[in-house]
Structure 1
């Protein structure tokens, strides 16, 4: 067909050309069941109430299955509501629909707002978005845009691909006065340049793919969700754009299922639950209701950062919106309240015990160091944008640490090592500080100060596989405590730019593959996706909603041993370079805590609950007895509290609202018999038992990480 006139508007550049666009669909996270961990089926056939798996996961059959309330089903008959939700990976039709919806939306915007300038609009995990240079949009504007999109869809306009020269593309773009598109055109290196037309009136700089015509889109399966602010190319010095988010599916049932899924995710939002359950507070983060617009940049459900196309604007807090008492402290800094702090204490204590049992030595290292240390490590050269400014201390420059690795190397270098010393395993719960723009902060998932469960292993080349296998076993053991049994695993190999010899890269990569094969875990190979300093294994955990979160990583490093010139003496009394392995299992405690809150919906299992039982007197006459019982339970290491001052039904409701696992009721008969009547939040009335029996059963349940 003939090219439309040069006055036709256009949008979106090539989705797979250059760094402007999101990662390939293989990085899209998966979702699964609200009903816990059902038997695995092929991704194409698995059915869940609200969503379906997006990519294969590895089951860990040896991991313990904890009796955690994360598997609580949503209200309603899940069997009747089960709908398979395809993904961009599993359905090319869906990907084409979403891509075309981005075009249709931009066409609608430019019809309604002729002065708007278009930038980019990729498909994303659950839909699409598009960034416009225009005046701020309102909810009323979104309704108008959706109505215009419906009109375009009903017209059943064809989408036609056209190839043009770079000069012709530039000519058309300049005729439209679209500066952002000129910038995008400059970044495209391949030729010819491809354009997609919608009918005869609108076109776009784009590589596809698309549906054949707009009529292939089910307009009742498309919804515009929200508007956020976003900086062009992720630079806060650039123009603030208007980003419109939308979702698109193949049919109405899928859209309904997705909406239900969002509602369940909203119910589990760790920011809301953190406030309701008094677990933590964090500076400057709006309540869950008003925080959608901070998600233009941040971490998705897989834990992988969204593409750094923009930094979303931090929204103004509306009157009545929650602000923490820590507002004066500074942005992105977490305050752990007593209940959250006790959970962190349990996590840390368990982490330390397990590491000591597996041959690790614990470290504590400073939060600052001289700036020269970070020059040696290479952070100043390669990571400076994520670091805070240095501080002058008595004419020497000091730096808040962004990572723990250089400190562990300094501990290694404190003395000369022999080959007989290996392996050397050191671990630390080390707090680090990284610079984040205020608009990118997101609850516990993206903060400015956080504690990593960092560990480093120094070993010989021929022991890489054994050490990696040991890390995988330890990872399974630690994550299994929380009921995480399904993982998505990626092995990333040597990138184009790297350090180290071909021989050591090959040995390390084979060692990682062999360790995974020994473990029996399925994995995908991400060719060229490794760090410049070595290959790595990344592991994502699957939560109760089936969302995947990046937590664990194992990385072989050939760079830092060279930079810091660390050595050991081999059997021939010659100095050699050891292999260094970076390793984290939980990732950061803050982020992992946020994942746990959402995984359990704030309903922590008995062993992890900040308050394991509430002792409730029927009247104040039993209060003294309840206090005596509470003192006895606390002396046995159990976490209990006494609540009174209300009628018993309200005391029980309050305990259930606060998600306390057990309630121990004491009335006149219980005082006389020195007993308690036990009620479980999930199982109802358990019965009356002696105090000593209750203590014994409670201790056993905690030790076994089970319910009473």
Structure 2
């Protein structure tokens, strides 16, 4: 048999005299690096390494050394977790698992709440299985066959999960004594490949995210290909805990949450100042880029949401009400339909385009209570929406200008590592292939002409058009998906909007949706953690704290504060009776960028002593020089 083998970037041609497994073949021919191979494709079909070679074929191997293969590897960690749970708690029923950016989680039914001691025992059992170097074998099975199998086993949750999976989908079945499960990909050939993991925590999760359904136990595992990756992640988790925006927001007196309004933010004075500074900055950037700012109602009639399609496809996430006159209304979950109403309010000419409308839109979305997470996942938030209406010929330049604006603004906040994905047409979509070709090619051209690298996310576009997704990397290496650009074929058609071209004929405009921060609340949460509360001078809610040493300097300190305020700086005054060292410590804990110390000598000399938040002492400076000092010392945005 003739075998073409692709592995680690090289191609080899092998001759087999008799059938044998892929693993036996690798071992026999001593293929370099073969011990790191954990999965294979045989003639474009995934198989495990125990799969027998019966005929001429092409084999592609997947190695632990390639980070791109982590997703494939993590399916095997799901097996390891489920097997350990079954061994310790035979009544626990594995339901379904998901791959995350850090590892996996698996939902279990028919079990009481797992505590920390339980998780430790599960982790020990997983390590025990790894150390035994047990072979793992899978066989291909359809979702329909798997569903019937688990139905016969009276495992209803697994049956219901599989029943909703495409019947023609190929799954991979594993059975070991009384334990059986299915996976989306074949598993590693041996448990020795699954050494680098940690069971992190457990949470409750409703079956299918529905609060009327039973509560399941969701166990999280972070899992990697080697020890270096695991250690790096655990260190990042430790650092992230120090930067938790919920803890820092409380420490810095920025905001709080209350059960009386779950998923909504109660902004304190300093937090609201931060919100205003962020929105004012973006407002100025958008004004300079030729946007007009608009605002649309928070509550709109059901008819609007039926036209847009949200009522049919998104109603479970909408807050709705029926008034005494039997009219149905909804709090807006997004601003797009309102923007279309503004566009359609008057007759548009091609001379009016491009029309760039920006809105800081308050939106409301029902998120399950278990998914709420500080500023990162809320029910009431502000989107920095913008909608651009343009002609086909203007689309390329509008895309390029929007991309350049997004990159410019991210750099202002210190996000210099930005990755970009282009999501292309999904199977279910509207519009002709010709239109999709035009839109996708335009987005590709805009990126290539700006010399911006990107990855293709094939088939993951919205049903109404392709989209770009911007992902930021923060100070400790975590990734946050924030900005998006989407090209819409659906709403212009649904709302029948148009413009009059130079030949006095109606034409359909192209509609671009653009979000830069996404949710302002979430972006503020990201910033708090990125900066660890040490905001740059221009963004700090309080930029300067003035600390008089004794009561004698109070009036002079007030004069310094007033002068700073008149020059546009945000300065606070600490008139407490505390000693100076205590004042310095307390205001340093508030992460105020600069401290001004005023004593008898400074008052006599019309000067102040300036100390930076990091402890740097700038010595005495005349009050007449304060404006120049702070303007040159800080990264101030005009």
Distance 1:455 1:671, change over 3 A: same
Match in the other structure for 1:371? 302
2:489 matches 1:558: yes
Match in the other structure for 1:694? 626
Runs of 4+ more than 6 Å apart? 86-89, 165-168
Instruction: Name the CA distance, whole Å, in 2 between partners of 1:559 and 1:145.
Output: 49
If each structure's strand is expressed as a fraction of its own residues, which one has the higher value?
Answer: 2
The DSSP-based 3-state class of the residue aligned with 1:129 is strand
2:160 matches 1:183: yes
Contact 2:138 2:186 in 1 (8 A): no
Instruction: Name the CA distance, whole Å, in 1 between partners of 2:244 and 2:436.
Output: 42
Match in the other structure for 1:591? 522
Match in the other structure for 1:146? 123
1:635-669 per-residue CA deviation (whole Å, 9 max, x = no partner) reads: 21110111132111111111111101101111111
Contact 2:143 2:167 in 1 (8 A): no
In the TM superposition, residue 670 of structure 1 has moved relative to its aligned partner by 0.3
The DSSP-based 3-state class of the residue aligned with 1:119 is strand
In the TM superposition, residue 253 of structure 1 has moved relative to its aligned partner by 4.7
Match in the other structure for 2:11? none
In the TM superposition, residue 405 of structure 1 has moved relative to its aligned partner by 1.4
Contact 1:159 1:197 in 2 (8 A): no
Match in the other structure for 2:434? 503
Match in the other structure for 1:44? none
In the TM superposition, residue 552 of structure 1 has moved relative to its aligned partner by 1.0
Q: TM-score, normalised by structure 1?
A: 0.77
Distance 1:627 1:164, change over 3 A: closer
Q: 1:600 aligns with which of 524, 531, 541?
A: 531
Contact 2:172 2:183 in 1 (8 A): yes
2:415 matches 1:439: no
2:607 matches 1:678: no
1:585-626 per-residue CA deviation (whole Å, 9 max, x = no partner) reads: 111110111111111011101111111111111222212211
The DSSP-based 3-state class of the residue aligned with 2:358 is strand
2:110 matches 1:110: no
Match in the other structure for 1:407? 338
2:493 matches 1:516: no
Match in the other structure for 2:465? 534
Match in the other structure for 1:312? none
Contiguous gaps of at least 5 residues in structure 1:
2-85, 284-326
Instruction: Name the CA distance, whole Å, in 2 between partners of 1:641 and 1:413.
Output: 48
Instruction: Name the CA distance, whole Å, in 2 between partners of 1:625 and 1:660.
Output: 21
The DSSP-based 3-state class of the residue aligned with 1:160 is coil
Contiguous gaps of at least 5 residues in structure 2:
1-19, 21-62
Contact 2:610 2:619 in 1 (8 A): yes
Distance 1:568 1:122, change over 3 A: closer
Contact 2:202 2:217 in 1 (8 A): yes
Instruction: Between 165-174 and 457-466, report the one with greater CA deviation.
Output: 165-174
Instruction: Name the CA distance, whole Å, in 2 between partners of 1:178 and 1:403.
Output: 40
2:172 matches 1:194: yes
Instruction: Name the CA distance, whole Å, in 1 between partners of 2:98 and 2:618.
Output: 54
Instruction: Name the CA distance, whole Å, in 1 between partners of 2:306 and 2:169.
Output: 41
Match in the other structure for 2:550? 619
2:569 matches 1:634: no
2:386 matches 1:455: yes
The DSSP-based 3-state class of the residue aligned with 2:262 is coil
Distance 1:651 1:390, change over 3 A: same
Q: 1:654 aligns with which of 560, 563, 586?
A: 586
Structure of higher CA gyration radius: 2
In the TM superposition, residue 252 of structure 1 has moved relative to its aligned partner by 4.4
Q: 2:104 aligns with which of 115, 125, 128?
A: 128
The DSSP-based 3-state class of the residue aligned with 1:182 is helix
In the TM superposition, residue 694 of structure 1 has moved relative to its aligned partner by 1.5
Contact 1:425 1:455 in 2 (8 A): yes
Instruction: Between 476-485 and 178-187, report the one with greater CA deviation.
Output: 178-187
2:92 matches 1:161: no
1:93-114 per-residue CA deviation (whole Å, 9 max, x = no partner) reads: x556543332222222222222
1:657-691 per-residue CA deviation (whole Å, 9 max, x = no partner) reads: 11011011111110000001111112511121101
In the TM superposition, residue 250 of structure 1 has moved relative to its aligned partner by 4.2
Match in the other structure for 2:290? 359
Matches within 5 A, 1:565-576: 565-576=496-507
| Alignment size in residue pairs | 575
Q: TM-score, normalised by structure 2?
A: 0.85
Contact 2:75 2:183 in 1 (8 A): no
Instruction: Name the CA distance, whole Å, in 1 between partners of 2:343 and 2:71.
Output: 50
Instruction: Name the CA distance, whole Å, in 2 between partners of 1:439 and 1:552.
Output: 25
Match in the other structure for 2:220? 245
The DSSP-based 3-state class of the residue aligned with 1:365 is coil
Instruction: Name the CA distance, whole Å, in 2 between partners of 1:477 and 1:663.
Output: 31
Distance 1:258 1:486, change over 3 A: closer
Distance 1:536 1:185, change over 3 A: closer
Instruction: Name the CA distance, whole Å, in 2 between partners of 1:486 and 1:150.
Output: 36
Instruction: Name the CA distance, whole Å, in 1 between partners of 2:326 and 2:295.
Output: 26
Distance 1:170 1:582, change over 3 A: closer
